[in-house]
Structure 1
């Protein structure tokens, strides 16, 4: 019997291409609606068309790119209702996790470290805090110790980071508010106040959600303009 030679694509190359293209999307070097063909990607990275195709398919599956009716894949363009759906889905998941962590009175060190990094950047006048902001929330999710919960949250991660990058790039949401609300969330969890943590999380996420919806052409809801309760001294 004639031996069949099977062709394979090196996964690490695909991973590297996918990660680099994601970083370019987050940095808006590849703006919303930008077309990416197999030929473009192959030429950009000097890789085989089959590798470029696999990378594009991964990016489509992870909602970094969209492709309709077998047409050219394009960088996702989020609208106001997309943002609201992403943030509400995020809130449902995070709220339950915070309640569970409050039962344990447990806050991971990684969350405190991430918030301290945001504070340090803010002291330098830096608004680009997407990565440590996301690490704060991801640390809380991961500390629950549920691989499936972390996986579900991870599936939202890129869309959330893209939302945050668009909002913080407009400098409409001060890192001062983010830092204060993160610190208060951690304190409420350690105090075992599940309801308080869930309520503050809703305030934290809904403000960002409506500010972002407004920046993308929607009509922002009243949550966008509510002052942060975390900046009001606790009696």
Structure 2
């Protein structure tokens, strides 16, 4: 099957579609992503395929050793723990600021409603459907404090976070109802102005996902 992509910028469009496939689980950990395969799948030149691969490699979504083809990274337990630890630092800071103002971002509440709605898709076998609204929930909390620099730091993590979340949901390690309930608890603590309770809930929420993914990686070795 030849895939077609919009010709906005062929390299960018190809990179965008590869990101979508990575986050949807269509390209699982360890999958090779070669110039020849992309050129055939998308009917583009090898130079276009190479540029798209280099773009995603720079973002950390693909990895390539010396004289080797690119592959989807296989996250180690140490990678997962460091990514989640960094998330916790940034998101906890945002929660404390929001709680001080008793502020519940409307965008976070809306994202959590989409997490709940994803339950139907997940029940039908599409567990990956919760990844994007789940990510939007957490990103909304960071964005709500209005710091461009903190947002930039968080965005630098976003793609790796999505890879983790895609693996968590792709492995059905957490139920969507539980995710949505814990999100709601965080929002309720913000509204009450209880920063430490919100952070404790976030720590438990992220820690559970982190450790279940770490255990799944350990078991698959």
Same fold, TM-score > 0.5, yes or no: yes
- CA deviation after TM superposition for structure 1 residue 95, in Å: 0.7
Superposed displacement of residue 40, structure 1: 2.6
Report the alpha carbon displacement of residue 200 of structure 1 after superposing the two structures with TM.
Answer: 1.0
1:130 aligns with 2:131: yes
The equivalences for 1:97-108 within 5 A come to: 97-108=94-105
Distance 1:151 1:182, change over 3 A: same
Q: Please say which structure displays the higher CA radius of gyration.
A: 1
Aligned to 1:33: 30
Among candidates 52, 63, 67, match of residue 60 of structure 2: 63
Name the CA distance, whole Å, in 2 between partners of 1:151 and 1:188: 26
- SS state at 1:66 partner: coil
The answer on whether the counterparts of 2:109 and 2:137 sit within 8 Å (CA) in structure 1 is: yes
1:233 is aligned to: none
2:147 is matched with which residue? Answer: 146
- Distance in 2 (CA, whole Å) between partners of 1:218 and 1:100 is 39
Task: Say which SS state the counterpart of residue 173 (structure 1) adopts.
Answer: coil
**Quick check: 44-53 or 107-116, which moved more?**
44-53
Q: Which 5+ residue runs of structure 2 have no aligned equivalent? A: 1-6
CA distance in 1, matches of 2:156, 2:150: 10
Cα drift, residue 50 of structure 1: 2.8
TM-score by length of 1: 0.82
**For the residues of structure 2 that align with 1:142 and 1:194, how far apart are their CA atoms?**
17
2:47 to 46, 50, 57: 50
Q: Quick one: distance in 2 between partners of 1:120 and 1:92?
A: 29
Bigger helix fraction = 2
Query: Could you say what secondary structure the match of 1:95 adopts?
Result: helix
- Check conservation: 2:25, 2:170, Cα contact below 8 A: no
8 Å contact kept, 1:80–1:218: no
SS class of match (2:218): coil
Q: 1:32 to 1:171 in 2, by over 3 A?
A: closer
CA distance in 2, matches of 1:148, 1:51: 32
Consecutive unaligned residues of structure 1, counting only runs of 5 or more, are: 1-9, 220-235
CA–CA distance in structure 2, aligned partners of residues 33 and 170 of structure 1: 15
State the alpha-carbon separation in 2 of the partners of residues 109 and 14 from structure 1: 35
Q: Find the counterpart in structure 1 of residue 11 from structure 2.
A: 14
Question: What is the match of residue 209 of structure 2?
Answer: 208
Cα RMSD (Å) = 2.0
